[in-house]
Structure 1
Amino acid sequence: MNQTFTIPRFRLPGLVAALGVHLPQWPHSLALASALNLAALAGLLPKESLAQMEGRSFLVEVLDAGGQACFACRGGRFRPLLTVPAKPDLSFRANLSAFLQLLARQEDPDTLFFNRELSIVGDTELGLLVKNMLDAIDWPRLPFPGRQA
């Protein structure tokens, strides 16, 4: 029996964000930069796209968790930033469920953006580059709860 796992739209309780903003944010930046570097090493991220991201800074905010990850692309690698620049080149803001839906390819960024569930602020050309790069990735099929092998 082939079952699919659907990520529902949800919002974490306000207490989570109230606590989350007081926690150190650098672990999120380190984890996301490391994951992106692994994806690049695995050949999932096109080298020409990475070259166009050189010297640019990015901010990812998970609003309902009170967390953020900030990183930059330097020397062909993603590097965590310990402090958020006054004006990152590109910022993404959404609740956890929207980011999970993007990752699972359950929703596309355009739909989430037009439904006001995803905010993208900054360099429009860079935003399109990132969107197209992520759309082109052939993610390995990962097991999800409820899906049988």
Structure 2
Amino acid sequence: MNRMNGMTKAGSNAGKVLPPMVAQLMGMLPAYPGSLLFVTALNVAIAKHMPQDVRQSLSGKKLRIRVKDAGVEFDFEWREQRFAACRKGDGSDLTIAANGHDFVLLAQRQEDPDTLFFSRRLSMEGDTELGLMVKNTLDAIDLSAFNLKRLVRARLESIFRV
């Protein structure tokens, strides 16, 4: 059994989902503020790491992240030099769906997107070429870009600079 940071790979994490009551409460939240918070995190964590050709390819493309067990979706697109939230219902060029736990494992690089995809824990609908570009771009970004402590510290330092 492969272990990383006390967690086992694929098999034992497959069934981790939010409790139904939590999922029901999260599903009742309005969509747009969640998307706004989500793109704020994307802009802080990865926007500056994206190559120019990826920025051009993403321009005007609508993306949706669906957290299945939470009943929430984040709709966004790339506009000029940043991610921007979109109102739900505009449709999407690409929808990526998984349970919240699996998205966390992906962000922490404790699980491989291909493994999740082929085990049907991660799904993609829409423009598969766009999906492959997103996957490859995220794979190429330095893991430290997703270090929450570092991001919060840097943000606080920028706010409180004299």
Give the share of equivalent positions with the same residue, in percent: 41
Q: Which has more helix, going by share of residues?
A: 2
Go from structure 1 to structure 2 and tell me whether the alpha carbon gap of 1:95 and 1:40 turns closer, same or farther (over 3 Å shift): closer
Go from structure 1 to structure 2 and tell me whether the alpha carbon gap of 1:94 and 1:78 turns closer, same or farther (over 3 Å shift): same
Residue in structure 2 matched with residue 116 of structure 1 by the alignment:
120
Length-normalised TM-score, structure 1: 0.84
SS in 1 for 2:69: helix
Segments ≥4 residues shifted beyond 4 Å: none
Gaps of 5+ in 2: 150-162
Q: 2 CA distance for matches of 1:120 and 1:14?
A: 24
Equivalent residue for 2:95, pick from 91, 97, 100:
91
Deviation at 1:126, TM superposition (A): 0.4
Residue in structure 2 matched with residue 129 of structure 1 by the alignment:
133
Alpha-carbon RMSD across the aligned residues, in angstroms, is: 2.2
Structure possessing the higher relative contact order (Cα contacts under 8 Å, 6 or more residues apart)? 1
Gaps of 5+ in 1: 145-149
Length-normalised TM-score, structure 2: 0.77
Deviation at 1:47, TM superposition (A): 2.2
Which segment is superposed worse, 22-31 or 58-67? 22-31
1:73 and 2:98 matched: no
Which segment is superposed worse, 128-137 or 30-39? 30-39
Asked if 2 retains the 8 angstrom alpha-carbon contact of 1:65 and 1:95, the reply is yes
Deviation at 1:17, TM superposition (A): 2.0
